[in-house]
Amino acid sequence: AEAIHLANLLCQYGYFFPVGESRSLIVKDDSSLYRFQTPYYWPSQNHSADTTDYAIYLTKRLSRNKQKHGLEDYELEAYNKLKKALSHKWDFITMQAEEQVKLAKDRKKGDKIVTDSQERAYWRVYRPPPGFTNCLETAPVPDKTNMANRVRKKTVDDLKKDNDFLASAVDRTRQKVSQAAESLLTHSETYYEYDPFLTLPQPSNPWLTDDPTYWSLNDTIVDVPTEKRVRRWGITMEELINDVMGQTEFTAYLRKEFSHENIRFWQAVNELRWGPAASVAENVQNIYEGIFEAWGAL
């Protein structure tokens, strides 16, 4: 859920876009295709969307297949307004749109789909539909002049109310006992066989028999992991990633699937998340230069 949330934010801010999807900028946890936006159009470049370019884009859409490229209601309204506001150079806009349509016809089908998705995603960020959150909108700056003088001091009654509320919150149960017991029971049943206090380690407990075979079989890196270790990887993704051997095997699999950049990104973000505060700026810069710029160049 955390990864999907981060991906949605990056998508809504225009850093990558869904291929073929034109109605929304929502990341789906399925086999949908996504591509990184050209770095020139990233919001971090402080790029401003030109009104003339938007008019050319809408005109180009109007001249193409209406079923695939037809304008939505808010886009049609924007087109009519722009046609009036830019009437003095509308011939130039029409000519540019026709020229771009001619150039698009010479492209391969796959390239056309990617280019169309890229354009739609860009204008979806810089010209969002009515009612949609504008991610690039500047937050209002509060007036802090004499703010301290305007804050009302709490009275004794206010403090008593706060105290009563906190006291009742402490006594209030946040989760039903039955649900908590069920969760605890499920967790215990899942990890029972992996607890050396509850299940005898195989082939033997090295602390009791002085036989180091168990440690050798379950070393950090081994040639062949045990069956029990592999089964534990299948419980959750965290179990797989937190095991050095599991992470190594997963990385090797991603290399075969040409998705190695995913685990690289996870490792970099994890290092940023748990690293010292003094290295945050350096880690962020490394992620941007080593991962985002490399992906954007593809």
Digit-coded pLDDT (tens) for 156-214: 988 999 998 888 887 777 778 888 899 999 999 999 999 988 888 888 888 888 899 99
pLDDT at 145 over 70: no
- For the cut 90, the answer to whether the pLDDT of residue 230 exceeds it is yes
Q: Indicate the pTM of the whole model.
A: 0.45
Is 264 part of any domain? yes
The per-residue pLDDT for 152 is 75
* In a shared domain, residues 187 and 263: no
Burial string for 245-275 (b: 16+ CB within 10 Å, else e) reads bbbeebbeeeeeeeeeeebbbeebbeeeeee
**Cis, peptide link before residue 203, omega less than 30° from 0:** yes
The domain containing residue 83 runs over which residues? 2-126
Q: What is the pLDDT of residue 231?
A: 93
Q: What residues contact residue 248 under an 8 Å CB cut-off, 6+ apart?
A: 221
233 is a domain residue: yes
Domain boundary among 110, 126, 142: 126
Q: Is residue 131 part of a domain?
A: no
Per the domain annotation, does 137 fall within a domain? no
Q: Same domain for 60 and 174?
A: no
Mean pLDDT of 24-36: 80
Q: Cα separation of 136 and 194, whole Å?
A: 49
**Rounded Cα–Cα distance for residues 52 and 40 (Å):** 18
Q: Write down which residue in 88, 105, 126 finishes a domain.
A: 126
- Structural domain count, the chain: 3
180 lies in the same domain as 258: no
User: Tell me, what amino acid is at 123?
Assistant: W
Instruction: Provide the mean pLDDT of the chain.
Output: 84
Q: Is residue 144 in a domain?
A: no
Among the candidates 180, 199, 218, a domain finishes at: 199
Residues 195 and 213 in one domain: no
pLDDT of residue 151: 65
Is residue 140 situated within a structural domain? no
Residue-wise pLDDT tens digits, 94-128:
999 888 888 888 888 888 888 888 888 888 888 88
**Are 88 and 167 part of one and the same domain?**
no
| pLDDT at residue 143 tops 60 | no
| Dist CA 54 CA 41 (whole Å) | 14
Decide if pLDDT at 228 tops 70.
Answer: yes
Name, of 28-32, 39-43, 132-136, 224-228, the range with top average pLDDT. 224-228
Q: Domain holding 268: CATH number? A: 1.10.167.10
